[in-house]
C-alpha cells in the first residue's frame, strides 16, 4: 500500500504524456464523471455517429485483453 500512490502517479503521468488515454475515455480520470460519459453517448447517438460509439467500445474491450 505504501508504494501504490507513487506507482499510480508515475503510471498515470506516463499514460498522459504518451497519449495512451483516449479523449473519449471517462473512467479513472479525475474530473470526468459517469454522467458526462452518458451525455457523450447520447450526443453521439443523436448525431447519428454510431461508428464513434462502436470504436469507443472496441477500444475499451481491446484495453483489457
* pLDDT tens digits, 15-60: 889 988 887 777 777 888 888 888 887 787 777 666 666 666 666 5
Q: Are 30 and 41 in contact (CB under 8 A)?
A: no
Q: Is the pTM of this model over 0.85?
A: no
Range of the domain at 26: 4-63
DSSP characters over 1-64: -TTHHHHHHHHHHHHHHTT-S-TT--TT-TT--HHHHHHHHHHHHHTT-HHHHHHHHHHHHHHT
Q: How many domains does the chain have?
A: 1
Q: Does 13 have pLDDT greater than 80?
A: yes
Amino acid at each position: 500500500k505504501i508504494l501504490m500512490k507513487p506507482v499510480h502517479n508515475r503510471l498515470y503521468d506516463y499514460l498522459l504524456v504518451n497519449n495512451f488515454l483516449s479523449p473519449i475515455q471517462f473512467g479513472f480520470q479525475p474530473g470526468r464523471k459517469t454522467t458526462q460519459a452518458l451525455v457523450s453517448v447520447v450526443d453521439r447517438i443523436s448525431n447519428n455517429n454510431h461508428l464513434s460509439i462502436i470504436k469507443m467500445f472496441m477500444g475499451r474491450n481491446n484495453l483489457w485483453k
